[in-house]
Amino acid sequence: MAGKMKPRTRREFLGSSAAMAAAVAIGPSAALAKPDDVVAEIKKLFGDKPLTAGRIKLDLPTIAENGLVVPLNFEVQSPMTDNDYVKAVHFWADGNPNPQVASFNFTPMAPKAAAQIRIRLAQTQNIVAVAEMSDGKLFTAKQEVKVTIGGCGG
């Protein structure tokens, strides 16, 4: 986290000290997830099935001042009929102590594969979404959220 000693701009310094503060708050026992962990989680659920970008509309702030409460809205394009609906939508965060965030299971009784929740982010990181369709196809979307104050530890 400390990086190599090289001259840094004020902005870089402020950014990294905020990240360090977040890491210290979490404590040394809780290592943060890495992007590879999210890839591994996706593999665990879906194996090597291909992921296609698209169909998922993610609505997340690009900058979250407070990592404790970050609004997450999403909608997956689907007719939501008995034969063609969104079975599940999973979310991961690649810089939290635990990469899992939430999973939503939809049925054809739901008119829209959409929901709003509020999540915690420990630091600036990517939110990865994977939607699983009733025909087994997988769609994905990703967005980075910059976090000013981390949302973990106390």
Partner 1 sequence: MSTPTPRVRMPATAKAGEVIEVKTLISHEMETGQRKDSSGQTVPRRIIKKFVATFNGKEVLSADWHPAVAANPYQAFFVKVPETGTFEFSWFDDNGEIYKSAHKVTVG
| Residue ranges binding partner 1 (CB under 8 A) | 26-27, 29-30, 68-70, 93, 96-98, 100-107, 109-112, 114-121, 151-154
> In whole angstroms, how close is the CB of 58 to partner 1 at the nearest point?
15
Q: How far is the CB of 2 from partner 1 (least distance, A)?
A: 22
Tokens of 86: 């969104």
Q: Give the pair of three-digit tokens for residue 137.
A: 């196809």
* Integer Cα distance of 56 and 60 in angstroms: 12
Nearest to 94 by CA among 50, 18, 131, 39: 39
**121, 71 in Cβ contact below 8 A?**
no
Q: How far apart are CA 22 and CA 31, in angstroms?
A: 12
The pair of structure tokens assigned to 109 is: 């009784």
Shortest approach of partner 1 to residue 56 CB, angstroms?
Answer: 15
Q: Please, which residue, 55 or 95, has the CB nearer to partner 1?
A: 95
In the bound state with partner 1, the residue whose beta carbon lies nearer, of 114 and 141, is 114
Instruction: Tell me how far apart the 2 most distant CA atoms of the chain are, in Å.
Output: 60
Quick one: 18 or 64, whose CB is closer to partner 1? Answer: 64
**Residue 149 DSSP code:** E
Beta bridge partners of 113: 76
Closest CB 62 distance from partner 1, rounded Å = 18
Least separation in angstroms between residue 89's CB and partner 1 is 9
Judged by beta carbon, residue 17 or residue 116, the one nearer partner 1 is 116
- Based on CB atoms, which residue is closest to partner 1, 119 or 129? 119
